[in-house]
Amino acid sequence: MKRRSFVPVWLLCLVWGAALPGCGLIDERLDNCPEESTLTLTLDLVNNKAAEMDNKLGSEHDRPLRAALEDYLTDVFVDKVHDVDLSFFDQRRRHERTFHETLVMDAAQKVISLRLSASDYLVVGAANLSGVPMVSLKNVEEEEGIALVQNLTRHVDSHPAGLFTARKRMRVADDEDQRLEIDFHMINSAAALVLNCDSCTVRSIKAEYDGLGNAFRIADSAFAFTNYSLIRADEIDVEPYIQRDADISNETDWFYDPYWELWTTTPRRLCGVGFPSPSVASSVAGTAIRIWGINLYVTLDDGTVTLSELSIGAPLPPGSLMIIKGWIKADGSFSPVPPVSPHYVGPGGPIFPDPPVDSTVVTGVSVKLNWRDGGEYGPVIG
């Protein structure tokens, strides 16, 4: 993974008298409070986005696909936060939340001056909540229960922005100006499907991601997986980027890959953002390891719908991007490897190149032809 440059956000915290049991209480002395306590909030932008783009969409002909995905993910893999919610749980006062602060950052830096009473704290933070309306901060008064929770509905739209959380044990001493640091880490993830549709005429296409998390408990960095919600992926229109191919990037390190060079003339692209997957398999059937899944619905030109249930055998970690390439066959089903026909004809005759190793993340595909929505469909992954 490549480490992107940190974006520092400075926060000088002073707790006003009426807001916190501490410095502002009548029965306590203000001289127990330091003159000033400084918190440095830093976005931790460690992710694999650049490496995944280079690996899966790094060839010359993939420029339009890469540009379309970059634009879609502009607000997800960000270099600053918009809003921040901070909760201070006093470890000397039965772990009560003794102070709460919300800030509109909307910039790389923002400075405010506040005072904190001397004590030991667990600071819990969440950032960019305003950009992800399907996720809410719950149990805010409980140190162990405070969590980001996704809407408990069967279908959830793709997260429009990146979510960040932080936790930090800190001690504020008497009569001492202190500087403390808190790192915010990204907790949602993105997965993209890039599809070759040369073998058939596709009227429409949609995808849902199954088996991803639905909540994140901040105090102990634990995700919850109820396998209830499906994340709707968005289809990205690649055509406008193909038209302006020459203006997409000034990068000079594009590589030529003979395997993918002619792999599709009709690309379709879908991408969805949600909480990450589990880190271990939820089920194993023969050699098909399933950690999470994708339900891919392809409507053909004749109106029939083909459902392909993809078993994904690689985890989708927090803050990561996964790109999966594949083929739509004549019956509308998904294949992680090329059809049996030669990929292209070289000077020596037909060529059957081996598929790239990145296709192995799809460990199994279950196909249902002429699928009809009965209103109850949706496998539950145990």
Give the domains, in start order, of the chain with CATH numbers: 2-47+78-186 (2.60.40), 49-76+189-368 (no CATH)
Q: Which of 283-292, 309-318, 325-334, 370-379 has the lowest mean pLDDT?
A: 370-379
Digit-coded pLDDT (tens) for 319-373: 999 999 988 999 999 998 776 554 455 555 555 555 554 556 999 999 999 998 7
The 8-class DSSP code of residue 255 comes to: B
* Paired strand residues for 288: 285
More confident residue, 32 or 278: 278
21 has pLDDT over 80: no
- Report d(CA 223, CA 213) in Å as an integer: 6
DSSP code at position 59:
B
Cβ distance 362 to 311 under 8 Å? yes
* pLDDT at residue 292, as a whole number: 95
182: left (phi over 0), alpha (psi -120 to 50) or beta: beta
Q: Is pLDDT at 92 greater than 60 in this prediction?
A: yes
CA torsion sign for 305, 306, 307, 313 is negative
pLDDT at residue 70 in the model = 94
Query: What's the N-to-C CA distance of the chain in angstroms?
Result: 31
Largest CA distance in the chain: 91
pLDDT at 4 over 50: no
Amino acid 288 reads A
The two three-digit tokens of residue 183, written as one number: 């790192």
**Per-residue pLDDT averaged across 15-33, rounded?**
37
What is the arithmetic mean of pLDDT over 7-21?
34
* Contacting residues for 17 by C-beta, under 8 A, at least 6 apart: 23, 24, 25
Asked if 146 and 137 touch (Cβ cutoff 8 Å), the reply is yes
Over the stretch 204-262, which tens digit does the pLDDT of each residue have? Answer: 999 999 999 999 999 999 999 987 899 999 999 988 887 655 554 454 444 444 544 55
Distance CA 18, CA 363 (A): 58
Q: Which of 320, 150, 288, 307 is nearest to 231 (CA)?
A: 150
Q: Tally the C-alpha atoms within 13 A of residue 240's C-alpha that lie toward its C-beta.
A: 6
What is the C-alpha to C-alpha distance for residues 122 and 332, in angstroms, rounded to an integer? Answer: 52
| Angle of the 49-56 helix axis to the 63-72 helix axis, nearest 10 | 150
Average confidence (pLDDT) over 65-94: 92
- DSSP β-bridge partners for residue 156: 231
Contacts of 243 (CB under 8 A, 6+ apart): none
Q: Kindly state the helix (H) or strand (E) to which residue 52 belongs, with its residue range.
A: helix 49-56
In Å, what is the CA distance from 18 to each residue of 33, 96, 110?
14, 16, 23
Q: Burial, 367: exposed, middle or buried (Cβ in 10 Å; 0-12, 13-18, 19+)?
A: middle
What is the helix (H) or strand (E) element at residue 69, kind and residue range?
A: helix 63-72
As a whole number, mean pLDDT of residues 115-144 equals 92
Which residues on adjacent β-strands are paired with residue 126? 85, 165
> Cβ neighbours of residue 197 under 8 Å, at least 6 residues apart?
205, 264, 266, 267, 268, 328
User: Mean pLDDT throughout 106-133?
Assistant: 82
| Average of per-residue pLDDT values in the chain | 79
Percent of residues, the chain, with pLDDT higher than 90: 48
pLDDT in tens, 35-66: 556 677 777 766 789 899 988 888 777 888 89
Amino acid, single-letter form, for residue 120:
D
**300 three-class SS:** strand
Cβ pair 49, 321 in contact under 8 A: yes
Do the beta carbons of residue 46 and residue 4 sit within 8 Å?
A: yes
Specify the higher pLDDT residue, 314 or 284: 314
Mean pLDDT of 187-191: 97
